[in-house]
Structure 1
């Protein structure tokens, strides 16, 4: 650190960063920030900072961004949650006011490549950055290779079972693509040195700020409750225990934040807590404040509207943005004293409370069943205890069964080392690097391995990981499996991806799922009557590895048995439950017993169906891809098979599709035929009818013409005819298939405007020849269009 400026606590932002003073919401840096600023501002080295929650790490991220902007570079901020990316967009209007552009790239918005390329600050989740770096050689995502500085917020996300490996490989890939400076920020972690080793951050740029830097001292305990035989009753036992812990702080004018397992639990716990608080005669809330009561009436959620006036609120991702914003503001200002939330609040919004209670240490995951809340989440939630500037101490409590108490006490005493989660997904991520061309020979495989946190952590903790030689053997074995599975071709030392490997990477599939999709397509392609079959497609998706941990309760089994009527009897109960949810969802009739998990399962199934459709286009046929596209559309919109083509029309969802189908209009051709007046007669308003008709006219409108096709052909003779397929609407990829007596003569795939296919007419030993032309659109949920001609053999 020799030769660098030293800053003291209280250093003015205007003195340290005069050109960016207005970008910060405060006027001076605190003790922790001042200690790290020289490494951030006066070095090009990578920096790793571990510091307690609420100690001010965000300001270090902003300082690193300022240094990048000052030198004309582009900064990328990786936020752990999508909600946080949107929050940063709002917060960093301060940078916009200084003339810099901030652009948030998320999966829920259409990417504007021009804005992304011109942005000074990019904000993404690790998952979106993974997607962008995988597509870096496409014009749409080329901007990601121009990043000069990458700030990783909450780098301890590396230890997340579900998301850690994605963050790890994305950072390793980004460093290979454009070598950005990396500034990694984390809550307190035991092995910050391993992260620094991985990122090549020198000792002088590696900071371990302990609990003495926490702005408010934290007292954390583990509390047990009297466990019973009924899980529902246990929830209320834990709630009473949580309220016992929170009550003294509420009575003293403080606030309590209680974390529960699910969105529904936040609502139910808040309702019950209001009753218990009233019974205990605890004074809480702002009952006498007229303005607050008036503002509360503007909430969209009815239950929340009734609850907040009693000083009790709830917060979860399913609330509207306006409701969430109001709840956060009221909690910050004290109108809400008791707030129930899911764990996402701990990662995102800065809402500390004097008392934090974790009521639920287990949660129900639709894809995994009952799972323990991750230690990362536990520590993140506990870290929210204590309000800087308001409290002398923070109080945090974990409520759990006595059998788990020792484990949680050890977590609170020792913290948790950050581990790599790459080993469990090594095959899929190595396949992705090969598919991207990052790895193209055996030496590159080992070189890639050495860029991972997995490798750095293994060197640090060999007792928990393989030694370097064993790691190399493990990666070699993984590569061999990729070659044997057809994902990778190997010739000597050189390796390259196959089409199967590329599709697997493109759709983020597990390898065994990709293999099952490929096998299904091959069976269809090799069949005498090539046809994937809707039942086979749906079953293959339901049996995907992503659903292997889905659990099925007894009441659910009775319900999905009725839905499936014997279909999929040989599947595991969890996968059969998935199949039932998909079957019912296609008709929009999901039974109540299956609804709690249905949304998550449907979203995952839609992703898998999109992948299966791409597999069909490559390995089966356009008609198979079209079948999967119709299944996908039915599942997304909940419409019947007859009317699924309607949802291809912009402005038509399940409601309008149902209305039009009842009037006998079941596809875009019907809409074009009846025009605006017919749509009005079917129940649409004039304005909607005009827009729907315009959208329907933009879709393909197919006409099939036969030329030279005789009515009869003498036995033993032959002639040639032609069939012309014309599209009167906008062009689209289409498969044109010609069969005679159900035997395929030809099939071609092209971007359909107009195409002519020769047809041979041969007088064989049959009495008649039935020719059929079928036009299928693999990317649109339109029913195939068919036309027939019959030729007699005389």
Structure 2
């Protein structure tokens, strides 16, 4: 690794990067940043930097970005959280002011491929980068192969149970696709050499900055409390313990940051802390500050408005952007002395405090139940202790049950080796590589594995990766498992190719057990119901760990009655949330988890629709699409078709349905005045009517279909389905007395189908033409014609 001199040299930004000096929020690089400059600016190797939290790693990213765009290249910044991508967008307006384009690509926003292609700096999460690289050969995502430098913020997320493998395979894929320069930044980690080995960063560009580079020395320890039988009471035991720890610093005009497990807990803890500070007679607050009082009046959150005047605040992702920005600014200015937050703040905003306390080491995850805070999160939060320029020492504590105290003491003493999580989800990621066509045979699998951090760690810590064993056997066994479950095909030469099932699993980011269950449902879908669709999603692997508390079980029973009794309590809770959500009537007891469950369910419903479209047919896919729209908008079955109109969401759909409009055709055929009378403005009514006219509208023409046919005779006829409005893909199906005669999938224009009229044993033949839209939440169009047999 690069040696670090004891020199206190700090170089001026204007001297190092004169054309980018205005992009940096300071005038001089600190000692740590200065030592990395030759590696970043004078060499082209990959770079790995491990340094204490709050020591200035963001500036290293900005140097790498500046050097890339100075050379006419494109830089990608991979941020660990979606909230941080938005923060970087705001921060890096400094680059925009210099004439460079910064573009954030997230799942929340519609991608503008033209802007992405022209951007100088792209910002993504690992999940979005994974998705984009999987689709690199499509026109929308072709820009992703033009990356010249990839900056990985918080590369120690490789060790994250949920997200580590995604980051690992994405970086390995980037290196195979376009081999950008990698600049990896990390909090302090003991095995930085393993990361450098994985990324082929030589010793000269691998940096491990120790505690001496921390702006403020850290005093960290574990404090215990006595665990009781009541979880609610335990929260207050830990809160009082936290108040004991922060009180002396608050009395000394210091600031404290207390991390709790949920958004709701930040609010409740702040309320209780205000009362406790009064009880303890700790002088705090700025109620006499007239200007601050006026500024606080602008907060949109009522509870926060009252709290900040007492010097206490809370911060979580659910606050408005303006409220969060004010809280952060007032904390930096010292007007807020005690701040309660969720862990998100530790990863993003640079808000150091003299004293940091982690009150909760466990949290409730809607999908996983009660889980431990990850060691990475714990270290990240503790690293916020110490305000450069204000404090001589930072103080940080973990409040833990006595039985877990030693675990956290070891973490504070030894740190945390960064491990690979790829083995835990190897089948899924291998399937994705095969589906993309980057792996053709067993030798490719081995070559791919050699590019992973998993391969490096298995070599440096074989005792911890014993399951890897012989990599060839491990790869061969994984491939055979994918073949057996229908995701890939493999010939005698060990060449592999993805099946339709494998490609869909990769496209929709599904766990393989979920993909298999969706395919099984589609292949057996003779008479699919909305109930079967909801059950399939509720039982998906993503909801395996959902738990139902006692009060929730009563609410679930009230929603479902006797339905779904064969389901386990967790999936039954999901089923109840989705079923009640279809009508917008989720019980209050289920609402705390409903949003997360619904967002995951919508993704799974979209995937299930694609499986049904591929393996069953358009009518089954259309059913799933209508269920998906009902779950998303909380609308009745009769009103959900209105959401097919561009610009009509749940609110406008309910307005129109209340006024008697049931379908987009009703909207098209209405007088404008009727739409205005229903509650729409004239401009909105005009736009919605225009958009409704862009949807398909079919006419079924029966030609010379006979009214009767003699028994024993037959007549070949034609049925024409003509679309007289906007185009769409559809499945057209003709049945007679419930038996399918002919079917086709097509992009609707004019479609003619041959239909045989046979005089058999039945006294009457009922012909049914059905037009179903797999991608639109419109009711299928059905028309019938009866023929008597005499």
TM-score category, normalised to shorter length = over 0.9
Q: Would you say the 8 A contact 2:354–2:393 is kept in 1?
A: yes
Q: Would you say the 8 A contact 1:346–1:380 is kept in 2?
A: yes
State the partner residue of 1:90: 90
State how far apart, in whole Å, the 2-side matches of 1:588 and 1:97 are: 45
After TM superposition, the structure 1 = structure 2 runs for residues 465-480 of structure 1, keeping only pairs within 5 Å, are 465-466=465-466, 469-480=469-480
Q: Render the CA deviation track for 1:646-676: whole Å, top value 9, x for unaligned.
A: 1112232223322322332211122222232
State how far apart, in whole Å, the 1-side matches of 2:146 and 2:647 are: 38
Correspondence 1:624 to 2:620: yes
Q: Would you say the 8 A contact 2:2–2:205 is kept in 1?
A: no
Say which of 685, 699, 702 aligns to 2:698: 702
Normalising by structure 2, we get a TM-score of 0.98
Secondary structure of 2:693's match? helix
State the partner residue of 2:502: 501
State how far apart, in whole Å, the 2-side matches of 1:302 and 1:476 are: 60
Q: Would you say the 8 A contact 1:549–1:574 is kept in 2?
A: yes
State the partner residue of 2:543: 547
Correspondence 1:61 to 2:61: yes
State the partner residue of 1:517: 518
Q: Render the CA deviation track for 1:340-390: whole Å, top value 9, x for unaligned.
A: 100000001111111111010000000100000000000000000001111
State the partner residue of 1:676: 672
Q: Render the CA deviation track for 1:247-306: whole Å, top value 9, x for unaligned.
A: 111111111111000001111111111111112221112211111111111111111111
Q: Would you say the 8 A contact 2:2–2:207 is kept in 1?
A: no
State how far apart, in whole Å, the 1-side matches of 2:644 and 2:5 are: 62
Q: Would you say the 8 A contact 1:629–1:778 is kept in 2?
A: yes
State the partner residue of 1:394: 394
Correspondence 1:756 to 2:752: yes
Moved over 4 A (4+): 1-8
Displacement of 1:8: 6.0
Correspondence 1:729 to 2:725: yes
State how far apart, in whole Å, the 1-side matches of 2:69 and 2:750 are: 52
Secondary structure of 2:671's match? helix
Secondary structure of 1:613's match? helix
State the partner residue of 1:209: 209
State the partner residue of 1:166: 166
Correspondence 1:272 to 2:269: no
Quick check: 578-587 or 715-724, which moved more? 715-724
Q: Would you say the 8 A contact 1:708–1:720 is kept in 2?
A: no
State how far apart, in whole Å, the 2-side matches of 1:498 and 1:468 are: 26
Correspondence 1:746 to 2:742: yes
Q: Would you say the 8 A contact 1:4–1:38 is kept in 2?
A: no
Q: Would you say the 8 A contact 1:304–1:314 is kept in 2?
A: yes
State the partner residue of 2:44: 44
Displacement of 1:680: 2.7
Cα 1:207–1:148 shift into 2, 3 Å:
same
Secondary structure of 1:110's match? coil
Cα 1:174–1:663 shift into 2, 3 Å:
same
Displacement of 1:210: 0.5
Normalising by structure 1, we get a TM-score of 0.97
Quick check: 277-286 or 602-611, which moved more? 277-286
Q: Would you say the 8 A contact 2:446–2:471 is kept in 1?
A: no
Cα 1:701–1:118 shift into 2, 3 Å:
same
Displacement of 1:72: 1.6
Quick check: 624-633 or 477-486, which moved more? 477-486
State how far apart, in whole Å, the 2-side matches of 1:791 and 1:5 are: 95
Show structure 2 runs of 5+ residues with no match: none
Secondary structure of 1:371's match? strand
Q: Would you say the 8 A contact 1:459–1:467 is kept in 2?
A: no
Displacement of 1:469: 4.4
State how far apart, in whole Å, the 1-side matches of 2:468 and 2:721 are: 61
Cα 1:454–1:689 shift into 2, 3 Å:
same
State the partner residue of 2:528: 532
Secondary structure of 1:698's match? coil
Secondary structure of 1:21's match? helix
State how far apart, in whole Å, the 2-side matches of 1:598 and 1:3 are: 52
Say which of 636, 642, 647 aligns to 2:638: 642
State how far apart, in whole Å, the 2-side matches of 1:324 and 1:19 are: 32
State the partner residue of 1:712: 708
State how far apart, in whole Å, the 2-side matches of 1:580 and 1:564 are: 6
State how far apart, in whole Å, the 2-side matches of 1:150 and 1:470 are: 32
Displacement of 1:684: 2.9
State how far apart, in whole Å, the 2-side matches of 1:256 and 1:36 are: 32
State how far apart, in whole Å, the 2-side matches of 1:612 and 1:459 are: 40
State the partner residue of 2:607: 611
Q: Would you say the 8 A contact 2:260–2:358 is kept in 1?
A: yes
After TM superposition, the structure 1 = structure 2 runs for residues 403-442 of structure 1, keeping only pairs within 5 Å, are 403-442=403-442
Displacement of 1:224: 1.1
State how far apart, in whole Å, the 2-side matches of 1:681 and 1:711 are: 44
Show structure 1 runs of 5+ residues with no match: 525-529
State the partner residue of 1:180: 180
Displacement of 1:561: 1.7
State how far apart, in whole Å, the 2-side matches of 1:225 and 1:127 are: 38
State how far apart, in whole Å, the 1-side matches of 2:69 and 2:503 are: 36
State how far apart, in whole Å, the 1-side matches of 2:468 and 2:230 are: 49
Secondary structure of 1:357's match? strand
Q: Would you say the 8 A contact 1:8–1:35 is kept in 2?
A: no
Cα 1:3–1:417 shift into 2, 3 Å:
closer
Displacement of 1:118: 1.1
Secondary structure of 1:730's match? coil
Q: Render the CA deviation track for 1:597-651: whole Å, top value 9, x for unaligned.
A: 1111111111000000000111001000000000000000001111111111223
Q: Would you say the 8 A contact 1:223–1:397 is kept in 2?
A: yes
Q: Render the CA deviation track for 1:467-526: whole Å, top value 9, x for unaligned.
A: 8643332222111010111111111221111111000000011111100000001112xx
The total of aligned residue pairs comes to 789
State how far apart, in whole Å, the 2-side matches of 1:760 and 1:669 are: 31
Quick check: 755-764 or 452-461, which moved more? 755-764
State how far apart, in whole Å, the 1-side matches of 2:766 and 2:127 are: 52
Q: Would you say the 8 A contact 1:52–1:210 is kept in 2?
A: yes
Q: Render the CA deviation track for 1:451-478: whole Å, top value 9, x for unaligned.
A: 1101101111111012864333222211
State how far apart, in whole Å, the 2-side matches of 1:21 and 1:672 are: 57
Displacement of 1:70: 2.2
State the partner residue of 2:229: 229
After TM superposition, the structure 1 = structure 2 runs for residues 373-392 of structure 1, keeping only pairs within 5 Å, are 373-392=373-392
Correspondence 1:444 to 2:441: no
Q: Would you say the 8 A contact 2:427–2:482 is kept in 1?
A: yes
State the partner residue of 1:572: 568
State how far apart, in whole Å, the 1-side matches of 2:28 and 2:463 are: 45
State how far apart, in whole Å, the 2-side matches of 1:147 and 1:606 are: 32
After TM superposition, the structure 1 = structure 2 runs for residues 224-303 of structure 1, keeping only pairs within 5 Å, are 224-303=224-303
Q: Render the CA deviation track for 1:386-406: whole Å, top value 9, x for unaligned.
A: 011111111111111111111
State the partner residue of 1:527: none
Q: Would you say the 8 A contact 1:7–1:38 is kept in 2?
A: no
Displacement of 1:145: 0.5
Displacement of 1:55: 0.8
Q: Would you say the 8 A contact 1:675–1:693 is kept in 2?
A: no
Secondary structure of 1:707's match? coil
Q: Would you say the 8 A contact 1:78–1:125 is kept in 2?
A: yes
Q: Would you say the 8 A contact 1:92–1:102 is kept in 2?
A: yes
State how far apart, in whole Å, the 1-side matches of 2:672 and 2:198 are: 64
Q: Would you say the 8 A contact 1:710–1:791 is kept in 2?
A: yes
State how far apart, in whole Å, the 1-side matches of 2:12 and 2:551 are: 63
Correspondence 1:769 to 2:765: yes
Q: Would you say the 8 A contact 1:14–1:27 is kept in 2?
A: yes
Q: Would you say the 8 A contact 1:55–1:213 is kept in 2?
A: yes
Displacement of 1:687: 3.0
Q: Would you say the 8 A contact 1:7–1:37 is kept in 2?
A: no
State how far apart, in whole Å, the 2-side matches of 1:410 and 1:554 are: 36
